[in-house]
Amino acid sequence: MEFEEAVRALHSVRDFKSQEIPDEVLTRIVAVAQRTPSWANSQPWKVYIAKGNTLEKIKREHLSKAMQAPRARRHAADPRSPWGRFPLENMQRWGERLTAFLGQDGMEMSQMQARLFNASALVYPTAQREVSPWMVYDIGAFSQTLMLAAKDNGVDSAPAYEVVRFADDIHAIMGIPDDEAIIAGIALGYPAEDRINDSHTDRDAAEDVLTIRKWPLPSVAWAVGIGAVRPCVPVFSRRRAFCGIRRRPARRTPPGRRTAPADPAKRCPIPRRAASRRAARRRRRSAACIG
């Protein structure tokens, strides 16, 4: 499968078949995800995958607690944290479209979550606690690569908070050490023939989120209409009592070349007039910059 094709085909499947995923396929998926870049090649993740009897035990514990038990907080991310305006708008739009799409079958979504989407395998990337928050960024990249690798191997996925909702039970059943935090939960499997899997989300257009800047933002010097020959430097005008800008003076002639002769009779008046003209030009430039 071509890369762009895999990216565009990737979406969250919320109901899977009971078909098992071979261990060699899971190993191949994780091996590809291992190529994910990380800060200074830190590779801060560990990966735990639940299958077979372990998976069934997690599903039973989850189903029994899904409707009444409080949510555990042993994983790193809090899904109820404040979101910005744009993410909230996207989330609200997604919820409205999903509700309209499912109609009377809206409760099916909750039932699928309670059954952990009937997944054939559950993937839990973890990282050590009390380390750099950048590890969450790295593990997010790892998770995306893993889902793309799964899609390339014919396996669909669904990253969901519901998968890590009862983190204490997952730690106990999977034998995850206490010094590791569950960063994400990904359900894997083969899609079932269910209407809920026909729901696809949209994306904002690239033009709505992209900024390509080929030139730096205009500085104060450009804002006042001064050319690009020489940069301007701050200057304080005592006459006008405010700070302005003026053009940086041009390179001056070395002092040794403009030294006047010791004998006044041999002095030439031309350099003096030239110096006066240069001084007048500098005054005009300063006035233009400040004005």
For 214-240, what is each residue's pLDDT tens digit?
Answer: 888 776 544 445 444 444 444 444 444
pLDDT beyond 50 at 242: no
Say if CB 139 and CB 37 are below 8 A apart. no
* Cβ neighbours for 258, distance < 8 A, ≥ 6 positions apart: 271, 275
pLDDT at 289 over 90: no
pLDDT digits (tens, 9 = 90+) for 25-78: 999 999 999 999 999 999 999 999 999 999 999 999 999 998 775 555 445 455
- For position 16, what pLDDT does the model report? 96
End-to-end CA separation in angstroms for the chain: 63
In the chain, the percentage of residues whose pLDDT exceeds 90 is 46
Question: How buried is 271 (Cβ within 10 angstroms: 0-12 exposed, 13-18 middle, 19+ buried)?
Answer: middle
Q: What is the predicted pLDDT for the residue at 239?
A: 47
pLDDT at residue 128 above 80? yes
pLDDT value at residue 235: 46
For residue 95, the surrounding DSSP H or E stretch is: helix 85-102
How many Å apart are CA 190 and CA 118, to the nearest integer? Answer: 10
Between 137 and 252, the higher pLDDT residue: 137
**pLDDT score of 116:** 95
Backbone region of residue 117 per phi and psi (left: phi > 0; alpha: psi in -120 to 50; beta: other values): left
Q: What is the pLDDT of residue 243?
A: 47
Q: What secondary structure letter does DSSP report for 154?
A: T
Please answer whether residues 14 and 158 qualify as being in contact, where contact means their C-beta atoms are separated by less than 8 angstroms: yes
Average pLDDT, the chain: 79
Per the model's pLDDT, the better-predicted residue between 276 and 241 turns out to be 276
Residue 278: is its pLDDT beyond 60? yes
Domains annotated for the chain, with CATH where assigned, are 3-209 (3.40.109.10), 220-290 (no CATH)
149: pLDDT strictly greater than 90? yes
Average pLDDT over residues 169-194: 95
**What confidence score (pLDDT) does residue 238 get?**
47
Residue 101 in this model has a pLDDT that exceeds 90: no
Q: What are the residues whose beta carbons fall under 8 Å from the beta carbon of 279, sequence distance 6 or more?
A: none
Q: How many CA atoms lie within 13 A of 243 on its CB side?
A: 5
Segment 196-208 shows an average pLDDT of: 83
Token code pair at residue 288: 């233009």
Q: Is 97's pLDDT higher than 80?
A: no
pLDDT of residue 236: 46
User: pLDDT value at position 163?
Assistant: 96
C-alpha distances in Å from residue 258, one per residue of 143, 263, 269, 273: 71, 15, 12, 13
Asked if pLDDT for residue 151 goes beyond 80, the answer is yes
Residue 67 is predicted with a pLDDT of: 75
Q: Which of 154-158, 223-227, 249-253 has the lowest mean pLDDT?
A: 223-227
Q: What is the pLDDT of residue 245?
A: 47
